[in-house]
Amino acid sequence: MDTNTSLQALMKGPLPPLYFCIGSPVVGNPTQHMMEKAFEQLGYPGRYLTIEVDPDELEPSIWGLLAMHFQGGNVTAPFKQEVLSYLDELTKSASLCDAVNCITRKDDGTYIGDNTDGKGFLQSLVEIVPDLKKRKVVVFGSGGAASAIVTELALHGVREVVVVNRTLTRAKTLVDNLAGISRTTLSWEPWEGIYQIKEHDLVVVQATSVGLFQPDDCIKVAFTPDLHNVIACDVVFNPVETTFLKKAKLAGCQTLDGLGMLVNQGAIAVKQWTGKEPDRALMRSSLEEAFAIC
Ligand code: NDP
């Protein structure tokens, strides 16, 4: 928005719609930069603020944001679950994976919580795997990201999803919570030693936090050489090309980085807030610009 329009709004109204990103710690989260670029390109007057919230003060912080009629926002760690209890309504995805990363104020003034992480991931994946429904998917991890992804894979109706996690009980709980939501066969496998990825036509998803800001770190997996038609995905977005993806490429896999998921979850939020489709290429380049500073 140019300075003149912004000044007109300030002096004569209406004031710009406000959005937030809350988390702790939240410094280093590039979402505001991506959202502001998207708003600007759409000619949308929204303003987006990154707000550090003390974990002991989530409740008053949320009530304040809602009372000030923020139009929506993003929620990041560690509040994705705790925030549920302050909202009026949840989407099916948010309710199934028990986590919210996107809040929208509806026309009637109530607030709905959604989880766009899994949806953003699914959009990226379907673009390169059109026959996803016929595939078997192995997901490493059982935290927030993995839970959102497994939920969307099941809602999409993929043939089979296997969850592998360091703490087996979390994998079991994730699978149990989603049992029966679709025809997808859901199961878990223990992760003992090095997990060998050896099946052709598989989709494997690295959805643990291993590798984030640690370019040399990788989960304990090995790829059998010359894999045919295997897609390896990583949710970690910084570095964009993780050691996991490098290993997968060497074994002949097609790879999908975490940046696409990050862009897509943000684009879904912008569409929910503005009703308009943002420029995803611009959002991706804004993230690359932000990460170049780290
Ligand atoms: P959580 O803390 O909820 O979960 C972390 C997961 O990683 C758990 O399953 C944990 O296993 C596993 N894990 C941690 N350390 C190890 C290890 N050394 N070996 C094996 N497994 C390990 O985190 P989130 O799910 O919220 O986030 C996971 C990643 O996803 C982060 O890097 C985050 O930045 C990224 N993310 C990316 C998004 C995107 O748009 N690209 C969106 C959201 C998140 P255990 O249960 O045994 O502790």
Residues forming the active site: 80
pLDDT band at residue 4 under the 50/70/90 scheme: confident
Report phi then psi at 77, rounded to 5: -55, 140
The pLDDT value given to residue 6: 87
Does the CB atom of residue 170 touch ligand 1 within 6 A? yes
Q: What is the residue type of 45? A: P
Q: Is 236 in the pocket of ligand 1 (CB under 6 A)?
A: yes
* Helical H segments across the chain, by residue range: 3-12, 31-42, 58-67, 92-97, 117-128, 144-156, 168-178, 243-250, 258-274, 280-293
Does any ligand 1 atom lie closer than 6 A to the CB of residue 113?
Answer: no
Q: Which residue has the tokens 């550090």?
A: 52
Residue that is written with structure tokens 């009026």 in the block: 88
Best probe residue, ligand 1, of 97, 164, 166, 256 (max atoms within 8 Å of C-beta):
166
The CATH architecture one would assign to domain 3-115+261-290 is 3-Layer(aba) Sandwich (3.40)
pTM score of the predicted model: 0.95
265 ligand 1 Cβ < 6 A? yes
In this predicted structure, the answer to whether residue 229 has a pLDDT above a threshold of 90 is yes
Which residue puts its alpha carbon closest to atom 23 of ligand 1? Answer: 143
Q: Whose CA is nearest to atom 28 of ligand 1?
A: 209
pLDDT at residue 93 in the model = 96
CB-based burial, 90-109: b 16+ in 10 Å, e otherwise: bbebbbbbbbbbbbbbeeee
Domains 3-115+261-290 and 118-258 share a fold: yes
Q: Which atom of ligand 1 is nearest to the CA of 208?
A: 7
The answer to whether residues 104 and 178 touch, using CB atoms and an 8 Å cutoff, is no
- pLDDT digit string, tens, across residues 54-73: 999 999 999 999 999 999 99
- State the pLDDT confidence band at 2, using cuts at 50, 70 and 90: confident
* pLDDT value, residue 169: 98
For the cut 90, the answer to whether the pLDDT of residue 210 exceeds it is yes
Q: Give the distance (Å) from ligand 1 centre to CA of residue 207.
A: 6
d(CA 71, ligand 1 centre) in Å: 29
Residue whose Cα lies nearest atom 34 of ligand 1: it is: 236
> Has residue 236 got a pLDDT over 80?
yes
| pLDDT band, residue 286 (cuts 50/70/90) | very high
Q: What value, to the nearest 5°, has the Cα angle with vertex 272 and ends 18 and 95?
A: 105
- According to DSSP, the β-strands at 111-114 and 102-105 are antiparallel
Provide the pLDDT confidence category of residue 30 given band limits of 50, 70 and 90.
Answer: very high
Task: Compute, in angstroms, the gap from residue 149 CA to the centroid of ligand 1.
Answer: 12
For residue 108, the CA-to-ligand 1 centroid distance in Å is 36
CB-ligand 1 contact for 172 (6 Å cutoff): no
| Helix H or strand E encompassing 206 | strand 202-206
- Kindly give the number of the ligand 1 atom that is closest to the alpha carbon of 211: 32
Q: Residue 68 Cα, ligand 1 centroid: separation in angstroms?
A: 33
- Distance from the CA of 208 to the center of ligand 1, in angstroms? 3
For the chain, the structural domain boundaries read: 3-115+261-290, 118-258
Q: Which residue has the tokens 């995805």?
A: 93
The CATH homologous superfamily for domain 118-258 is: NAD(P)-binding Rossmann-like Domain (3.40.50.720)
Site to probe by mutation for ligand 1, drawn from 80, 142, 166, 209 as the one with most ligand atoms within 8 Å of Cβ, is: 209
Q: Is the CB of 74 under 6 A from ligand 1?
A: no
Mean pLDDT of 111-129: 97
Q: What are phi and psi of 249, to 5 degrees?
A: -60, -40
